[in-house]
Chains A and B, each alone.
Chain A
Amino acid sequence: MSAPLVRFEGVTRRFGAEAAVDDVSLEIAEGEFFALLGPSGCGKTTLMRLLAGFEAPDAGRILLAGEDLAGVPPHRRPVHMMFQAYALFPHLSVARNVAFGLKAQGRARAEIDARVEEMLALVKLEGLGGRKPDQLSGGQKQRVALARALAPAPKLLLLDEPMAALDRKLREETQLELRTLQRQLGLTFLIVTHDQDEAMVTADRLAVMRTGRIVQVGPPAEVYERPIDRFVAGFLGEVNLFEGPDGCTGVRPERMALSRAEPKAAGRLPGKVAEAGYLGDRTVYVIEAAGRTLRAAQPSGGDAFRVGDAVWVSWPATAVMRLAE
């Protein structure tokens, strides 16, 4: 990993008595796609706004490429943001929206025009430069917002819930497109989202936040497969929890196997199928076993079970995640 582009050092931001961001330290590397993930109100948006300069920390400092950002107002920061509801200027055309940051930098007219063309091509909106924002679809607006934030070539692009306003199918396509775009440009992206799929699909690394603190940081697979506590495990996906004398453990539904005969796995319980939900690529079963309710996801094409069938639920030792409270 190269030198960190962004460094939060013990950053705290309070609103009244409450700390929206509580003693956060974090590093984001140059060229990285980083996601801040957490439920609403966890402080992820405030953390992003601190970086953009719309909030100032009450304690700690924020460094960008080694320089302290304290006292630098938003308009002097080489950081651009893609706003949640896009914040496209309704009185300006698409082209003038995209040109906005370039004009603020005082670039030459010809240079601006060329850059705007380039940006519109990048987000596949060639020919729509003359439209007003309210003549665009939701997906088009989102891409204009992206082009506008990218046009002045920021060192760091912030994306505040960029897909929140899109419908599910478009969101899934856009997530991958964004990933590809970031790889092509080699820019550092910081995305804020409450959608764990979005964070996992797009990011190189993600940080899970809760009540102003960062709970866990790591690559998506690592955080998903080795969550440190019940909150992270539950926030990133479904999990079957087991309370034992030596603490709490969890197993993901897709690591659960179902069989009619008793298996030889490390963990196993006899039970009964209480409910079955077919999802196309997999089927999700609810199993009543030893007085508890477990979930097991089985890929399609294997043995199908019906409600009321007697089954064994089993899991390998490697699937067991040790979880702190």
Chain B
Amino acid sequence: MTHDPLIPAKAGTQAEPAAKRKGRLGSRLRGNERGKNNLAVLAPYLWLALFFALPFALVAKLSFSHSALAIPPYAPRLDLSHGLTGLADFLRGLDLATYRRLASDRLYLLAYLSSLGFAGLSTAILLVIGYPMAYGIARCRPRLRQALVLAVILPFWTSFLIRIYAWIAVLKPAGLLNQALHLIGLPSVTLLDTNAGVVLGLVYAYLPFMVLPLYAVLERQDESLIEAAQDLGLTPRRAFWRVTVPLSAPGVAAGVLLSFIPMVGEFVVPDLMGGSRTLMLGRTIWTEFFADRDWPAASAVAMVLLATLVVPLVLVQRRRAALLP
């Protein structure tokens, strides 16, 4: 059977092939139940088709459109009133001009590479900071553990924008950090409007995304496994590397994916904490769209970003049982 592995197979709710055999008593009943569930799916299905699938088709279409016309609707338009000739005309009208333009402009390439670089570096730092945090929390007494988890979740619920804004006051040239450094006689540092500032902002904003999946895996881990490893002669340190770390691999994968993917397309952090020369794709899309009004270019950048993220997105989709605790 190929049904979704995350959905427990419950006898009686499965639409079994046998049910398709015609003319048997009672299969009407099963049909009814399926009918009702289909009714339940209809509303969210239509909603997502309209507000999620269709918009993406439009982004794809626009990315293949001429950029010459600055005002929507961009050519070509899909006109199905003429039947298949309309579709053929439409397809003939699509071209790769926008993509060619992107490829020839070094700025886009740099933005692409630096997005991956920022996200990659920040993910590595997150793992180094997040793993010990998650492990530390997982080892606390249950009541304290819950309070600490809440403390990690709470910032995630607090406005992203406000949290980044809070850093600006800290990092400003005459800000609180430099005041403090000055007080203890250290030279001041410049972090705001630099690439280092972007990494700091990304690490700060996505820390909960790394800690929570790691915690979920580590907390479930059976303590007796470590004891068994030590009983068999491993030092606590080696038991950690040989037992705890390999067993937490799903959590590591989850934390890495859940922070890396959105960071690649991040807009707020590079915009507010990066300098004017900080290049990231999320910001590029925003600028193309709002400042340059080059919608086909914005769409094409979005398509490239999406294509880059397809593999990690599929990984998330496949393993979301482990990813979303």
Q: Which residue of B lies closest to A18 (CB)?
A: B18
Asked if residues A58 and B24 are in contact (CB atoms below 8 Å), the reply is yes
Among A66-74, A111-119, A245-253, the stretch that binds chain B is A66-74
Residues 28 to 75 of chain A near chain B (Cβ within 8 Å): 46, 49, 53-61, 68-73
Q: How far is the CA of A60 from the CA of B29 in the complex (A)?
A: 15
Asked if residues B24 and A16 are in contact (CB atoms below 8 Å), the reply is no
Interface size class of A (residues with CB under 8 A): 20 to 34
Residues 1 to 39 of chain B near chain A (Cβ within 8 Å): 1, 11-12, 14, 16-19, 21, 24-30, 32
Given contacts A16-B1, A16-B18, contact A71 B11 (CB under 8 A): no
Q: Which residue of B lies closest to A74 (CB)?
A: B29
Given contacts A15-B16, A16-B1, contact A55 B11 (CB under 8 A): yes
- Where chain A touches its partner, the secondary structure class is loop
Asked if residues B12 and A49 are in contact (CB atoms below 8 Å), the reply is yes
Q: How far is the CA of A55 from the CA of B12 in the complex (A)?
A: 6
Asked if residues A73 and B29 are in contact (CB atoms below 8 Å), the reply is yes
> CB-CB < 8 A to A49: which residues of B?
11-12
Q: Which of A54, A69, A71 contacts B12 (CB 8 A)?
A: A54
Q: Which residue of A lies closest to B24 (CB)?
A: A58
Asked if residues A56 and B27 are in contact (CB atoms below 8 Å), the reply is yes
Asked if residues A57 and B29 are in contact (CB atoms below 8 Å), the reply is no
Give the tally of cross-chain contacts (CB within 8 A): 47
Q: Which residue of A lies closest to B13 (CB)?
A: A54
Given contacts A15-B11, A49-B11, A49-B12, contact A57 B17 (CB under 8 A): no
Residues 168 to 207 of chain A near chain B (Cβ within 8 Å): none
Asked if residues B26 and A70 are in contact (CB atoms below 8 Å), the reply is yes
Q: Which residue of B lies closest to A19 (CB)?
A: B18
Given contacts A14-B18, A54-B12, contact A61 B29 (CB under 8 A): no
Asked if residues A56 and B29 are in contact (CB atoms below 8 Å), the reply is yes
Asked if residues B1 and A58 are in contact (CB atoms below 8 Å), the reply is no
Q: How far is the CA of A16 from the CA of B16 in the complex (A)?
A: 6
Asked if residues B11 and A58 are in contact (CB atoms below 8 Å), the reply is no
Q: Which residue of B lies closest to A70 (CB)?
A: B25
> CB-CB < 8 A to B19: which residues of A?
58
Q: Which of B1, B11, B14, B25 contacts A57 (CB 8 A)?
A: B25
B: which residues have CB within 8 A of A? 1, 11-12, 14, 16-19, 21, 24-30, 32
Per CB-CB distance, the 6 closest pairs between chain A and chain B, nearest first, are A56-B26, A70-B25, A14-B18, A70-B26, A56-B29, A58-B18
What are 18 A-B interface contacts by the 8 Å CB criterion?
A: A14-B16, A14-B18, A15-B11, A15-B14, A15-B16, A55-B12, A56-B28, A57-B26, A58-B18, A58-B19, A58-B21, A58-B24, A59-B24, A60-B25, A70-B26, A70-B29, A71-B29, A72-B29
